[in-house]
Structure 1
Amino acid sequence: MGGRGRSRTQRKHFKQSRDNVWKHGSNSDASSAVDVDNSADIQTTKKDSWEPLKTQNAAFEDYYKEQEIVAPEEWDTFIEFLRKQLPAAFRINSSSQFCLDIRSQLEDGFVKSLQSEFTGDETEALRPLPWYPENLAWHSNFSRKQLRKTQTLERFHEFLKLAHEIGNITRQEAVSMVPPLFLDVHPDHFVLDMCAAPGSKTFQLLEIIHRANEPGSLPSGMVFDYSVVANDVDVQRSNLLIHQTKRMCTANLMVTNHEAQDFPGCRLSKFLHKCSDLSAKGLIIDQLLFDRVLCDVPCSGDGTLRKAPDIWRKWNAGMGNGLHGLQLKIAMRGIALLKVGGRMVYSTCSMNPVENEAVVAEILRRCGDSIELLDVSSHLPQLVRRPGLKKWKVRDKGVWLSSYKDVPEHRRPGILSSMFPSGRNIVDSSQKHDGHGAAEGEDGEGNMDAECIAEPAMNDDASLPEINDEVSSFPLERCMRIVPHDQNTGAFFIAVFLKCSPFPVIEKTGGADGQMIHKKEDLSKAAKENASNLDEGEAISAGDTETDAGSLDNETSKTLEDDGSEDQQGTGSEIAVSEKVGVKRKLQNQGKWKGIDPVILFNDEAVISSIKAFYGINDSFPLHGHLVSRNSDTNSVKRIYYVSKSVKDVLELNLLVGQQLKIASVGLKMFERQTSKDGTSTSCRFRISSEGLPLLLPYLTKQVLLAPLVDFKHLLQYKSIKFGDLVDTDLKEKTSAIELGCCVVVLKEAHTLSSVAIQVDSSTIAIGCWKGRSNLNVMVTSLDCTDLLERLEKRMEARSAQTSEVQNVGAKVDSNLNDTDVNEEGKNDVEMKEETTVDMVAS
């Protein structure tokens, strides 16, 4: 019941995205519609009665005034910014082939043109975000509404729409770009994004890794063997994530569907009897552990008021209280999956300290010296941020609570000691209770009792000092809170953790073998003494020593769940302790996941050999053993995906542990089954996909054509060209000579001879085509063709401008040289006359 309750609650709040009620025609609720004019934000009902959209909430203002999120003298400015629409922000996708071209177009084109059209505060209507590296993120003072409505911005708006649809830019809130920048990802890291949809941060992480390549190198998954696992609980939202990230053209990504707090660790120790020889399989991992974890948890979202003003109407203090438990579970699961020496970023788009500092403090309280809260104040110095709070209060049912002892007994199932700065679980002696009353469902104010945390034994407050205003003893000032009026953004909270060591070991004090304790009473006692305030399922590490699953008896296997399907799991051989000790929990179905196609290693030698022979794929490209499909019937496979070595290891581990991972997407779509419309038969049934072409292109030796600019542009314009209509003679001959079927057309640089071998680098432009009996047909979408034509025109204009500038400089140099020659001749004439005069005088 507990798992199902969590699932319902999580999906209820976060499965569907909110409507943007600033937008024309959006509905703020089931009975109203919204329209917006250019002068004010107006709300209209179906009866056409107009009234202002409400951007105020007395409970909200009272709450954050009391929490002292900002200084009293800043309050009016703070609220004023919250009531304004959020300016548009976007990020140039650094993995795009035209990244530098787009940045130059913004810097030298739109910025200057907008400055000439607008005055005053609007002269900096478009500018790069000063704290984002390499001018790759941009901020516009115009809201999305203004971009759509203002005629003078129409050209800029069209540029944004096309670039976003193609994938050259990502429309993303500015503060949402911050957490990945503090994760410090490297090209050899295993990375987990726990709550990834809709995928902007995942894409950003992939870009950061991609930028670590040498300048000019190709986006190859073989250069750096990293792996990124992007997880989200909802399958439909994951589809958007998959769509976002496929533009990255990476074989190192896996998308999974799990509740983040129950993400499986895929521990192999329980399955060692099934695979005794790991070295023969080449498997180098025996469980899922990550170098970096991004924990951007579900939250109440009041930091997004500027783009989702419907929150003004819905907000109440119970929203944050109800999510605290879930956020803590997800964060602790992330730390459990983190390697020693790894880094985790915890973030929310909420301003509520109960969702932010309270969660951070409880993590530090539970993990002790194993976890360090990092001070990153010197990183990104141009990003304006506020230090985290060290004191706050909890509001429940309209009452302010300064300490857990103030919580009425009937409210303790929903109001936890971990919500308070001290985290001390103290009550009046007349109000003692067992501390485990976690009821299912929600109360009337939105408190999610299903997510309550099990509390340790209560202490009589007579033995403890009186607490009035609690202050946390942890260095929470190392957290950062971004508020809207500092840099005209939304609000965000970020904390960065470093895992210094495994969690403490719980062992029997007696006995030479040092076996893990597994008796119910001993385990309960040890948990109270050594892991105060541990939640059910939180990890207790076995330290640096490996615990052999074979050495644990049946009773141990009942009490210590380490398969990761239900309970949390930690690093090394960390073992999760169930709240219901001694009760064997039902394992998840280890067979095929309902509604999810299986991941099958594709080993059809006949098909692979035909692909290699047809395209002349170089043997240095590791094709064998790196292909997967989603269809168990080899003859019916429509798509073949390519995975990197690191992802392949995860897949093999997942198969060995009974397919614990629910995989929605994996790898890079490399080949697609293709049939000719005119019935032409080809020796290879699979064409190269557009996503896979950048990775495979350097290794192709057949079916590659070199086209001059004129023919390349004609292909993009007309989509299909007869061989006889090709301008270049060499291209005509080679097109006729290659086999029928898929081919690749590469843009030939000027003055490049057709006989010269194709040199592929990051600037190479190529498209997939299909050679029929008499035509060459483009296999690229119309939108991609339009964008590529525009990019080529921009490049030609830039080169023409450079050529003209060089010619002008050359002409100026020649003119100066001519003037110098004339002056030298005049000087010589003068010298000759002077010499003649001297000679005459001398004689």
Structure 2
Amino acid sequence: MARNRKNKKGNKKTFGARNDSNAQKGWSELVKENEKWEQYYKDLALIPEGEWDEFKRICQAQLPLTFRITGSRKHAHEVLQLFEDQHLPGLTNVTFEGEEIQAPKRLAWYPENLAWQLDVSKQVIRKNEQFSKMQRFLVVENAVGNISRQEAVSMIPPLVLEVEPHHAVLDMCAAPGSKTAQLIEALHAKNDEPTGFVMANDADARRSHMLVHQLKRLNSANLLVVNHDAQFFPRVKTDDSRRFLKFDRILCDVPCSGDGTMRKNVNVWKDWCTGSGLGLHTVQLNILNRGLNLLKNGGRLVYSTCSLNPIENEAVVAAALRKWGNKIKIINCDDKLPGLIRSRGVSEWPVYDKAFAKKQKGDEGTIESWFAPSAEEASHFNLSNCLRVYPHQQNTGGFFITVFEKMDEEEEQSAKRAGFENNEDINQEKKAKSAEDAPQRQKKEKLPRDANEEPFVYLDPAHEQLQKCWEFYGIDDDFDKSNCLVRNAAGEPTRVIYMTSSSIKKIIQGNEDRLKFIYSGVKLLVAQRSDIDCSWRIQSESLPIVKHHMNQKRVAKANLECLKHLLLESFPGFETMEKLHIDDEFTKKIRALSPGCAFIHVSRGEDKESLFLPVWNGSKCVNLMVCKEDTHELLYRIFKVDSPAKVAAPEKKVGGDRAPQEEEEASQPAESSEAQG
């Protein structure tokens, strides 16, 4: 995670080369040169001499576009198939202005071929018809959460963390959230209702709220966003108030100087200096040590930076190994992510101060942990098990990753017999406890307009409004009805009811005095009309869970022709659907239901994902409650209809029988005054 640099008021960000019109206005291209950076990394000898020119050339070049396909396996592979069938052929053997353009390629090391890289310029994407069409595809799929545009090397830390559905996971420095999204996806990969959770933290209040925008589209009831200084992250209570939670998996993607991101953050070229890494070293070590304190025995922690500087990487790792002794070890990841070109960690490096003067251990103004380990320490630390990914190795950014494991008692005793000693210090835990107890001085920051700082209040499962909903929708007893909450001081259901997992509920109710909660819960119920049997409709965000607990009372099976008609036609009348024989069984059942929210189930065969979507059932018509982004995506993915605007008008003419105005208004999704950001 690169350090957040705030521009001075009045200055504009520089993103690299400017076009001619900007140059005429006084803009000039940023020079991608830094003598001290070049001298420093040549002296470190991290890059073989014969590779330096290529390394520097790639660092100066534009970063490729990379993306990964998300979601359940069936869903993800369907989107992958669509990309390979509809777009990849047109992107192969393409020439632009007389030069052959590289076709998109899979990231060889990413599981199941679900991540891709495009080594083409923005000019080609804008001006070439096939690449422009692919770009529109990426935009649409990204909008609905099927694709995440993420830098390739940024995808590595969550993969080697190896999250399982039952794990308690902490992301200590989560913003902007791309890695956190991977952790959530891994938690849900095998089960729509995992028992574990992901706690996403960031020290900056505004970035914590912005993190929500990145993560809420994943619709996870197992996510909690909090706002704390990661160096002193509070202990989290469990059910037993005398005990504190230890996490199974922790990601420490710490703030860093970010010289591995200079391909996209071009200001690094002019801002880089040795002082940045030296200044961040202590903060990075504090965060890592706090993470190791919070880690369960047998658990796994990943420490990562987007820096290539050993002062921020191996020096931090070595200091933690020196402190924790036999309690932790570095996992060798040579067998992980086959196809990833990587280099080993180093055990020797020089130290330069802010003035670029070479320093020795013990010199005035130095910190001992900046320096390389002794020969004896190096033989035990196994820093070669750290991963270094350099930009020129596979045309990416630069990254550093270390995977720690906290050993259980049996492994600890074995390590002691092998000659290791435990130097663990409880000072870090004491500092964290002091930070918990000290009065919190809140910075006055301008938060996003939709940031909600109302409390999280869980409802009595026997609440009258909830009981009406369970009966109306046929929700079974296996659904945990005690996990429903509201976000208002009155604690009463007014406009929106949310739901969380049981694991998140325990944390929220047990840690109100020690955790600053920012966001949790997915929308379950939204208030609609009051003149019908049930004035609440189930929100689509919660359907992946709720559909498993719902009987067929308000579910109507539909065929693909019916689905297409509902996607293209707003408020189609029942009489028209009967005349056109658009799925007579569906029309018969949906028409017989009382007005209100209902659902359609579209089976597409064993090899493809079934669809379960909400509809609003009126007295004369039905309306599919899907947003325009999802409508566009479903039409393209399932029916190969590229632009619904071009084909919707003829369909509407056929439909003829429009719903009354009041019914149209009632069919629209209600806006929530309790949006969580």
> When the two structures are superposed, what TM-score results if normalisation uses the length of structure 1?
0.68
Corresponding position of 2:372:
421
**Cα offset for 1:186?**
1.8
Corresponding position of 1:609:
467
Is the CA contact 2:322–2:423 (under 8 Å) kept in the aligned structure 1? no
Are residues 310 and 749 of structure 1, via their aligned partners in 2, closer, same or farther at CA, if it must alter by over 3 Å? closer
- The amino acid that maps onto 2:596 is G
Is the CA contact 1:191–1:229 (under 8 Å) kept in the aligned structure 2? yes
Is the CA contact 2:277–2:311 (under 8 Å) kept in the aligned structure 1? yes
Are residues 769 and 329 of structure 1, via their aligned partners in 2, closer, same or farther at CA, if it must alter by over 3 Å? same
**Cα offset for 1:685?**
2.4
| Number of residue pairs matched by the alignment | 618
Are residues 739 and 239 of structure 1, via their aligned partners in 2, closer, same or farther at CA, if it must alter by over 3 Å? farther
Are residues 33 and 761 of structure 1, via their aligned partners in 2, closer, same or farther at CA, if it must alter by over 3 Å? closer
Corresponding position of 1:14:
4
C-alpha separation between the residues in 2 aligned to 1:106 and 1:71?
38
Corresponding position of 2:351:
394
Question: Which of 670, 684, 689 is matched with 2:524 structurally?
Answer: 670
Corresponding position of 2:593:
738
Question: Which of 445, 456, 468 is matched with 1:599 structurally?
Answer: 456
C-alpha separation between the residues in 1 aligned to 2:12 and 2:215?
35
Question: Which of 136, 153, 161 is matched with 2:139 structurally?
Answer: 161
Is the CA contact 2:237–2:507 (under 8 Å) kept in the aligned structure 1? no
**Cα offset for 1:329?**
0.8
Q: Tell whether 2:488 aligns with 1:627.
A: no
Is the CA contact 2:108–2:338 (under 8 Å) kept in the aligned structure 1? no
SS of the residue aligned with 1:691? helix
Q: How do residues 212-251 of structure 1 correspond to structure 2 at under 5 angstroms?
A: 213=190, 219-221=191-193, 224-251=194-221
Corresponding position of 1:644:
501
**Cα offset for 1:261?**
1.2
Q: Tell whether 2:264 aligns with 1:307.
A: yes
Q: Tell whether 2:614 aligns with 1:768.
A: yes
Corresponding position of 2:438:
586
- The amino acid that maps onto 1:606 is E
Are residues 361 and 342 of structure 1, via their aligned partners in 2, closer, same or farther at CA, if it must alter by over 3 Å? same
**Cα offset for 1:714?**
1.9
**Cα offset for 1:41?**
5.9
**Range with greater deviation from structure 2 (373-382 or 293-302):** 373-382
Corresponding position of 1:553:
none
**Range with greater deviation from structure 2 (295-304 or 116-125):** 116-125
SS of the residue aligned with 1:489? coil
Deviations 1:313-342 (A, max 9, x none): 111111111111111111111000000111
Corresponding position of 1:498:
405
Corresponding position of 1:485:
392
C-alpha separation between the residues in 1 aligned to 2:151 and 2:499?
32
- The amino acid that maps onto 1:684 is C
Which is bigger in relative contact order (C-alpha 8 A, separation at least 6)? Answer: 2
Corresponding position of 1:25:
none
Is the CA contact 2:246–2:296 (under 8 Å) kept in the aligned structure 1? yes
Segments of 5+ residues of structure 1 without an aligned counterpart are: 1-9, 19-27, 214-218, 269-277, 424-466, 506-528, 540-559, 568-584, 751-759, 797-843
Deviations 1:281-309 (A, max 9, x none): xx699312101101100111110111111
- The amino acid that maps onto 1:131 is W
% identical aligned pairs: 38
Are residues 322 and 43 of structure 1, via their aligned partners in 2, closer, same or farther at CA, if it must alter by over 3 Å? farther
Deviations 1:508-532 (A, max 9, x none): xxxxxxxxxxxxxxxxxxxxx9858
Corresponding position of 1:716:
567
Is the CA contact 1:602–1:629 (under 8 Å) kept in the aligned structure 2? yes
Question: Which of 235, 239, 247 is matched with 1:265 structurally?
Answer: 235
- The amino acid that maps onto 2:615 is C
- The amino acid that maps onto 2:79 is I
Is the CA contact 2:484–2:497 (under 8 Å) kept in the aligned structure 1? yes
Deviations 1:430-475 (A, max 9, x none): xxxxxxxxxxxxxxxxxxxxxxxxxxxxxxxxxxxxx9xx978632
Deviations 1:611-659 (A, max 9, x none): 1011111222222x1212222324453222222222222223224xxx3
Question: Which of 103, 111, 123 is matched with 2:80 structurally?
Answer: 103
**Range with greater deviation from structure 2 (193-202 or 289-298):** 193-202
Deviations 1:464-497 (A, max 9, x none): xxx9xx9786321111110011111100000111
- The amino acid that maps onto 1:494 is I
> When the two structures are superposed, what TM-score results if normalisation uses the length of structure 2?
0.84
C-alpha separation between the residues in 1 aligned to 2:49 and 2:466?
69
C-alpha separation between the residues in 1 aligned to 2:216 and 2:583?
34
SS of the residue aligned with 1:52? coil
Deviations 1:139-163 (A, max 9, x none): 1111445323433411111111111
**Cα offset for 1:761?**
11
Are residues 180 and 35 of structure 1, via their aligned partners in 2, closer, same or farther at CA, if it must alter by over 3 Å? closer
C-alpha separation between the residues in 1 aligned to 2:288 and 2:344?
20
**Cα offset for 1:187?**
2.0
C-alpha separation between the residues in 2 aligned to 1:643 and 1:285?
24
Q: How do residues 235-634 of structure 1 correspond to structure 2 at under 5 angstroms?
A: 235-267=205-237, 286-406=243-363, 408=364, 412=365, 415-422=366-373, 474-501=381-408, 537-539=427-429, 564=433, 566=435, 586-588=438-440, 596-603=453-460, 605-623=463-481, 625-634=482-491
